[in-house]
Amino acid sequence: MEPVVLGGKLVSGLIGPLVRKLFVQDGPGAGLVDRPVRLSALVSFRGEKRTLGEKDVHRLAGRIVAQAVESPGEPPFPADEQAAVADALARRLLALGDLDMDDVQAVRLGAAELARQLRHHSGFLNPQPLSTDARHFLDSATEWACLHILEFFTRRSTFVARTLVEQSRAQAELIAKVDELIARTPRPDARDAAFERRYLPYLADRHDHITIYGIDLRDSPDRWPLEVAYLSLEATTEDERPSDLELHERPPATPGRLPAEEALAGGSRVLLRGDAGSGKTTLVQWLAVTAARAADRIPYVLPLRTLIRTGPLPAPDGFLTAVSCPLTPPRGWAERVLAAGRGLVLVDGLDEIPAADRHRVRDWLRSLLAAYPGNAVLLTSRPTAVRPDWLAQEGFRELTLAPMRRTEVATFTRRWHEAARAPEYEQPLLDSLRTKRDLARLATNPLMCGLICALHRERRGYLPTGRKELYDAALAMLLARRDRERGMGAELGEEAQLELLQRLAYALVLSGRTEMDLDTAEGIVERCLPTIASASGDAATVLRALLLRSGLLHQPAEGVVDFVHRTFQDYLGARYAVEEGHLDVLVSHADDTQWEDVIRMAVAHARPRERASVLRQLLARDTPRLTLLALACLEHATAVDPVVRAEVEERAGALIPPRTTQDARTLAEAGPLVLELLPGPEDLTDEEAHGVTVSASLLGEEEPEGALAVLRRFRDHPDLEVRRQLVGTWRRFDADVYAAEVLDHLDRTDLVLTCESAEQRAAVARMRPWQRLHFLGGHGIEDVLAAVPAPEAVAALILSGNSGLTDLGALSPFRSLRALSVYSCPAAGGVDGLAELPLAQFDCAGIADPTGLRALRSLTRLSVSQRLPGTDLRHTLPIDAPLMFLHLGEHSIDTTGLRGLEHWTKLRMLSLGLLTAGLTADDWRRVTELPALIGLNLEGSPCRGMHLVPELPGIRSLRVSSAFGAEELSVLSSRLPGLRSVSVAPLPGSSLPSFKALFPHAEVTLERH
């Protein structure tokens, strides 16, 4: 029977008074006491103040049991067990005096637990065991009585006050003890946070600069801010590395190719490989500085060459000591950081320690990762230091730093010169890097870019005339000085390495390849070893040392060797050829463009007499390309026979600068070498400047960067033909780059910009507004409007080759449009929808429906080169328009002739194109009725029946093509007595003198094309 059920049989109003008799009553003056009261002092059947005896308690228990038995309903247990149950209940109630607790503790126990304590302390064993129902009733009655006992305790006047005092004292004691503990022993997380507030700024400041080892130039410090040297380079997995890309090219981004600084996203483990100077250490510093400033991870920068020198590889608590950090962390700090997965462990330079120690490093990493999983770990190495998948079992992903792109080279160069406060040298160097192919091949990583920038500034911007100095400095830095100044010994001396490397390079040059088998390379090294006293080990060992430490060789694939830069291969191969007297071998390959740089480098290495011999042999071939190659060789020659130099310059002077468009085309056929030699724009005539831009434009697809460097020099040129050439060659270049470098700087007067692709449309939107635009191809009107954020700025628009164009009325946003030309848009109609625009000129050829022309009442110039409906020009052309110029082209007058032409009395210029219908005497008569006509343009030789031309004394200017025969022109000469000027559009084979003889009283000019 549950207590709640029993409560139905034992009414609280009856049981309460019975239970209260078990306890003494509060006397007068009862109030606040300083501590709780023991139960033994409260019961009324114990002590000096007891008012009940044990028999009284038995009677109380009997009354409680009797009330339950006598209540309505089924009896709770058999009637013959009533006395035994009452006796047992009395024993339990008497046990209240034996409990070692006070009233507060009893209340905390609760009724159920207090009842259990009474059962335990009663010690009563029934001589005759009770039935299950009786035992159940006894336990329930005991618990019900305890409920009333606890209620009695909590209602006593002194209980609440006493408990509040006790709680307050207990809380005060607890607070005091906690404060004492905190003061005596600060929390680990508080100490850690305080230390990290010192450590992270220290680390960021320590690694916020880089050092370029191996350079000691007068005006170039060896330390630079990190943001100058760091670029967001790209990392690829080994199987995704580009194998046959052109210089500086990159494949498009894929999910397996990512910015290098994102390699450790998500707490990953990465083994990052990269060639010498590719930016591995700089990336480590960048990651450390970025993490320290963000405070999201705790970075540890651990150069292995430093760790190895200090003895055993350190445990986490020794990380900072091993790298000479002056800060002392709290005990166990590093372990807590790593245990929480907050660490960024940056281990730099696996290739910089002996091979035997690399296995120790791997074991060290294994144990570190096993003890502290979940942290981000980066390990850097040169490509050949360890085999592929060296740490694959430990969950490391392998990535390789890709070469810098041209845009990254340009960014680095700009930052370097900004930091060096030498802006005057920036643009000349950028131009040189674009036009000098061997320089561009070198500038593929931050180390070489920094070297080039420093040497260029050292020579006051004249690096291109001292290229050999750059290569010598680069070789000295890579082969010896860089490792020595970083505290690393060299296994082979600089001269020994050069001897081996130049033999490998010459073998590649002779084979016409850039890679060789590893076995072939070992054979070359083996044959060379007897001549090198300082070499130790067999050929395979020496070759491995070159691969690992020289910074010039690497393995692009298993069993293959090549030079990291083609320039070094050519330079060293040429050096060996000169030493061995093989210059004739080089010259014999001069017709092969792949040998150009080798020959130029050989001239740089050769003695003066040898240089003269090479240059004479090149001139003797008497070809434009080899003449220009001889001129390019002079750049590398510090001393040359003055007679030979003069001959080279004279022969080349006939080719450069080109003086006509044809000369420019011929010059461009010599190849990209030309770009290094093109002058200007200073000291060039307008014709020569135009020729230079034509040559550079033609080479744009083959060598876009070099061509762009030339063209950008002419972006401020005032000549219209030069500017037109610059605009017209856009399609050969990257749309965004060319727009930013050239187009957006041009004087736009009389220029029309042609846009052919979506990329060009996007570039147009980013440039300052163009007034004249040509959209060639299937551009939707919505795309055109998106490319022109300010359509009201456009004054002239050409749309051509667009089969999707239907409604010309959609051009209404171009509300300032003055000239519109629509060519080869076979679905275009809705010409009348243009009526609200302030058009002064409209040209059409090959549109669907020209009938809306009548609505264009504001036109002063109109050109139509397609069939017009009707039998009279007035049926289609705008009769209300004040036309002053009218061009009628192919098929335009097939059905109308010139009928109605006399209506436009303000017409001053009439242009007749390649007409498919001959003009009649009536047509010419209508021409004579144009009182304001002073100009006539006749294209081709379409006008059969030239004898029908009447005398037109008002004509002052004539434009014809050289397709007209002398007989036809003589007729025109006699019919146009007032002629003052003749302009001839030349065709191949025509000559100007014959035209002058036919028009002796007019000024004859030949148009330039």
Residues 285-343: tens digit of each pLDDT: 888 998 999 888 999 999 887 788 767 899 999 999 988 899 999 999 999 999 999 99
- As to burial, measured by CB atoms within 10 angstroms (0-12 exposed, 13-18 middle, 19+ buried), residue 190 is exposed
Structure tokens at 352: 């910089």
Report if residue 777 sits inside a domain.
yes
8 Å CB contact between 812 and 792? no
Q: What's the mean pLDDT in 859-866? A: 96
Beta-bridged to residue 343, according to DSSP, are 298
What pLDDT score does 237 carry?
Answer: 63
Give the global pTM.
0.60
Strands in 541-683 per DSSP E: 553-554, 560-563
Give the residue with greater pLDDT, 482 vs 319: 319
Same domain, 162 and 196: no
H/E run at residue 773? strand 772-776
Task: State what percent of residues in the chain have pLDDT above 70.
Answer: 81
Lowest mean pLDDT among 176-185, 659-668, 785-794: 176-185
Residue count (the chain): 1009
Residues 597-607: tens digit of each pLDDT: 899 889 989 99
Same domain, 242 and 292: yes
What pLDDT score does 488 carry?
Answer: 45
What pLDDT score does 969 carry?
Answer: 81
Which of 383, 404, 425 is a domain's end point? Answer: 404
DSSP letter for each residue of 133-155: HHHHHHHHHHHHHHHHHHHHHHH
Q: How many domains does the chain have?
A: 4
Confidence band, pLDDT 50/70/90 cuts, at residue 463: low
Lowest mean pLDDT among 10-19, 422-431, 756-765, 794-803: 10-19
Q: What's the mean pLDDT in 566-577? A: 88
Beta-bridged to residue 844, according to DSSP, are 822, 864
Contact residues for 820 (Cβ-Cβ < 8 A; gap 6+): 796, 797, 798, 799, 808, 811, 834, 837, 839, 841, 842, 843
Residues 235-285: tens digit of each pLDDT: 766 544 433 333 333 333 344 556 766 766 655 899 988 876 677 888 888
Give the residue with greater pLDDT, 945 vs 266: 945
Report if residue 848 sits inside a domain.
yes
Same domain, 128 and 230: no
Lowest mean pLDDT among 313-322, 432-441, 620-629, 752-761: 432-441
Q: How far apart are CA 381 and CA 600, in angstroms?
A: 35
8 Å CB contact between 586 and 602? yes
H/E run at residue 363? helix 355-371
Give the residue with greater pLDDT, 473 vs 656: 656
DSSP 481: I
Same domain, 234 and 127: no
Q: Please report, for the domain that includes residue 544, its CATH number.
A: 1.10.10
Structure tokens at 603: 């001239």
Structure tokens at 186: 């600060």
Q: How far apart are CA 154 and CA 909, in angstroms?
A: 118
What pLDDT score does 8 carry?
Answer: 41
Amino acid, res. 384: T
CB atoms inside a 10 Å sphere around CB 673: 21
Which one, of 96, 122, 80, lies nearest residue 23 by Cα?
96
CB atoms inside a 10 Å sphere around CB 57: 22
Report if residue 115 sits inside a domain.
yes
Top mean-pLDDT range of 559-573, 833-847, 973-987? 833-847
Same domain, 134 and 222: no
Residue showing tokens 């020289």: 550
What pLDDT score does 168 carry?
Answer: 65
Sheet containing 397-401: give its strands across. Answer: 257-259, 234-237, 397-401, 269-273, 376-381, 343-348, 298-303
Give the residue with greater pLDDT, 262 vs 578: 578
Q: How far apart are CA 4 and CA 9, in angstroms?
A: 9
Q: Give the Å distances, CA to CA, from 377 to 90, 271, 322, 336, 802.
A: 75, 9, 18, 17, 56
- Considering just the CA atoms, what is the radius of gyration of the chain in Å? 50
Q: Please report, for the domain that includes residue 211, its CATH number.
A: 3.40.50.300
Give the residue with greater pLDDT, 952 vs 416: 952
Lowest mean pLDDT among 10-14, 680-684, 700-704, 830-834: 10-14
Report if residue 41 sits inside a domain.
yes
Same domain, 204 and 149: no
Containing structural domain, residue 761: 752-859
Report if residue 107 sits inside a domain.
yes
What pLDDT score does 219 carry?
Answer: 52
User: For the chain, how are helix, strand and coil distributed in percent, rounded to 5?
Assistant: 50, 10, 40
Residue showing tokens 């020579």: 459
Top mean-pLDDT range of 255-264, 508-517, 833-842? 833-842
Which of 804, 835, 859 is a domain's end point? Answer: 859
Same domain, 81 and 224: no
Q: How far apart are CA 230 and CA 556, in angstroms?
A: 25
pLDDT at 431 over 70: yes
Structure tokens at 531: 């001549």
DSSP letter for each residue of 198-246: HHHHHHHHHTSEEE-TT---TT--SEEEHHHH----EEEEGGGS-SSPP
Q: Please report, for the domain that includes residue 777, its CATH number.
A: 3.80.10.10
Q: How far apart are CA 725 and CA 694, in angstroms?
A: 7
pLDDT at 801 over 90: yes
8 Å CB contact between 676 and 629? no
Same domain, 168 and 197: no
Same domain, 164 and 197: no
pLDDT at 823 over 90: yes
Confidence band, pLDDT 50/70/90 cuts, at residue 729: very high
8 Å CB contact between 630 and 652? yes
Lowest mean pLDDT among 111-115, 555-559, 785-789, 918-922: 555-559
pLDDT at 613 over 90: yes
Q: How far apart are CA 852 and CA 834, in angstroms?
A: 9
Report if residue 883 sits inside a domain.
no
Amino acid, res. 331: R
Which of 140, 172, 204 is a domain's end point? Answer: 172
Same domain, 230 and 300: yes
Report if residue 983 sits inside a domain.
no
Same domain, 382 and 248: yes
Average pLDDT over all residues of the chain: 82
What is the bridge-based pairing of β-strands 234-237 and 397-401? antiparallel
Structure tokens at 208: 């916020």
Same domain, 124 and 248: no
Which residue blocks in 731-869 are alpha helix, DSSP H?
Answer: 735-741, 758-766, 781-787
Residues 362-395: tens digit of each pLDDT: 999 999 999 999 899 999 987 777 888 888 888 8
Report if residue 179 sits inside a domain.
no
Which one, of 99, 110, 122, lies nearest residue 39 by Cα?
99
Task: State what percent of residues in the chain have pLDDT above 90.
Answer: 39
**Coil, helix or strand for 4?**
helix
Q: How far apart are CA 280 and CA 273, in angstroms?
A: 8
Q: What's the mean pLDDT in 774-780? A: 95
Amino acid, res. 348: D
DSSP 686: H
Confidence band, pLDDT 50/70/90 cuts, at residue 35: low
Which one, of 58, 47, 52, lies nearest residue 21 by Cα?
52
Lowest mean pLDDT among 99-103, 331-335, 460-464, 831-835: 460-464
Residues 154-211: tens digit of each pLDDT: 777 566 666 666 666 666 677 666 666 555 545 557 789 999 999 999 999 988 877 6
